[in-house]
Amino acid sequence: MSTLLRKVWDSLSTRSISSSSNSISSVDQMTMYVQTASTGEFDRIPLDIFIQILKILGPKESAKMSLVCKSWKFIVCDNRLWIYFLQNQNEPWDSTFFAETHLRSGPLRMLSNSVSDLSFMSIFGQRAQVPGAIIIDGGSGYCKFGWSKYSAPSGRSATFFEFGNIESPMYSRLRHFFSTIYTRMQVKSSTQPIIVSIPICHYDDTESDKAARAQLKDAIHSALFDMNVPAVCAVNQAVLALFAAKKVSGIVVNIGFHQTSIVPILHGKVMHQVGVEVVGIGALKLTGFLKEQMQQKNTYFGSLYTVRALKENLCYVALDYKAELSKDTKSTFQIASEGCFTLSEERFKTGEILFQPCIAGMRAMGLQNAVALCIEHCHDVELMVDDSWYKTIVLAGGSACLPGLAERLEKELYELLPSCMSNGIRVLPPPYGVDSAWFGAKLIGNLSSFPTSWCVMRKQFRHSSRRKFMW
């Protein structure tokens, strides 16, 4: 049947071309033909069979069929057909659907679009034409980079140890950082738009912090545009992690390299006026505490990377810390060239310092208290009539991948908060593990409206008034 349909199309194309000698333009000829064409025996094909034929033909041939006649055009343009084609792409359909219904209008209009208002046939065609983007998620600890068309980041580097603190707006440091990543990817900076994650820093709603955030963002744009990057999209790292969870509003708990940030986000915008909570415990403290416990038991290890590997493969967060102390929790993990390591209570004590910092001799607020405080602030400011926007809590960062962390935090919040605030709270583990922010950027880079709706163009930036830095 698909062969017959192709013959029909070829026949129609031939007739259209052969009539080009007439005085009527080719466009007018096609219009007249579409209005008067009859598909003969094909008119008798049941609709469900016709849809199955189109699915077999694929998107390219199906699009051609829309030119045969008006009735076929109506069928071919049906959203359900093109949703089927999109579902068979490499990208997960739920992520594609979220991106096209929530993000395609850009950061200033991040409201859900009705499916009936969208043409998924157009979206399919536009996504096929999107050039893609270079994505650089430069966290304070580790940087992930790659092309948005890739299934995962193509490379990683130790940001802090290799480049220093990229959160400070130092032009030379940022320029060196971006140049190095482009060199490792073996691409020219002038060929692709770029999506950069902005580090979670300068948290307060004060004028000085507002200025510092603007300065950092301007420094990123300046460094990249001076490298002839055609378009730049710079988005807060916590916002990207939230997008990866297919949400535009919620609270992101990002366990970074040096500290943990609790970031309230509404419609893709960080609510600095609500308050970003910060706890001075990050991945480095967790690794350091595990190291101390191993040293106390005279366990030899080659480097801090060994300790980190043990943390990632053996450690977890107990749902009930006191009950866990009475259990046999021994487990062994083998590291190449170093042998086997056996840990017991260190496995859950390491993550416990997030909730009880005093165990590691630190004076800091427990994670559950900091998140509860953020929820209380969100509740008190009454930004929306519906208070469900802050009841989705998304974990982000490598150490947030510790098994049991999401369940423990959710349990603690239900115990700490009154029912009017705690009802409906859900704590979600990192949707893509350590790469959540990178995958959030990937959703933007593959949008049908990218780069127009999300990027600042080089000409646009250079013609605008920008802050002059003294480097």
Q: What is the pLDDT of residues 338-364, one digit of tens each?
A: 889 999 999 999 999 999 999 999 999
Stated pTM of the model: 0.86
Give the DSSP H/E element, type plus range, for residue 135. Answer: strand 134-138
Rounded CA separation 179/184 (Å): 9
Instruction: Tell me the two tokens of residue 289.
Output: 């505490």
pLDDT of 164 above 70: no
Query: How much is the pLDDT for 112?
Result: 61
Mean pLDDT, range 403-407, rounded to an integer: 98
| Mean local confidence (pLDDT), 374-383 | 92
Residue 164 half-sphere exposure toward CB, CA atoms < 13 A: 10
Q: Read off the tokens for 167.
A: 């959160």
pLDDT in tens, 19-56: 444 433 433 433 333 334 455 566 667 888 888 888 98
Which CA distances in Å does 407 have to 36, 259, 363, 402? Answer: 64, 21, 24, 11
Residues with Cβ within 8 Å of 308's Cβ and at least 6 positions away in sequence, in order, are: 287
Chain centroid to CA 286: 25
**What backbone torsions phi and psi does residue 5 show, to the nearest 5 degrees?**
-65, -35
The predicted pLDDT at position 278 comes to 95
Top pLDDT among 168 and 286 is at 286
Phi, psi values for residue 37, rounded to 5°: -70, 145
Whether residue 169 has pLDDT greater than 90:
no
Band (pLDDT 50/70/90 cuts) for residue 114 is low
162's CB contacts (< 8 A; 6+ apart) are: 180
Q: What is the pLDDT of residues 84-95, one digit of tens each?
A: 999 988 889 999
Which residues, listed in sequence order, are joined to residue 266 by a DSSP beta bridge?
A: 269
DSSP state for residue 191 in the 8-state scheme: S
Percentages of the chain per state (helix, strand, coil), in multiples of 5 = 50, 15, 35
CA distance 335 to 299: 14
d(CA 356, CA 376): 21
Average pLDDT over residues 182-208: 92
Mean pLDDT across the stretch 429-435? Answer: 95
Mean confidence (pLDDT) of the chain: 86
**Hey, is 118 helix, strand or coil?**
coil
Pairwise CA distance, residues 353 & 351, whole Å: 5
DSSP H or E stretch at residue 183: helix 171-185
State residue 31's pLDDT score. Answer: 35
Neighbours of 420 (CB within 10 A): 8
Tokens at 353, concatenated: 């310092």
Contact 217, 226 (CB under 8 A): no
What totals of helices (H) and strands (E) does the chain contain, helices first? 21, 14
What is the rounded average pLDDT of the residues 123-138?
A: 92
User: What's the N-to-C CA distance of the chain in angstroms?
Assistant: 68
- In angstroms, the CA 80 to CA 76 distance is 9
- The pLDDT score that the predictor gives to residue 301 is 87
Pick the more confident residue, 315 or 301: 315
The three-class DSSP label of residue 331 is strand
Question: pLDDT band for position 319 (50/70/90)?
Answer: very high
Q: What tokens does 354 get?
A: 């997030």
- 3-class DSSP state for residue 332? strand
Q: Please answer whether residues 360 and 353 qualify as being in contact, where contact means their C-beta atoms are separated by less than 8 angstroms.
A: yes
Q: Between 15 and 259, where is the model more confident?
A: 259
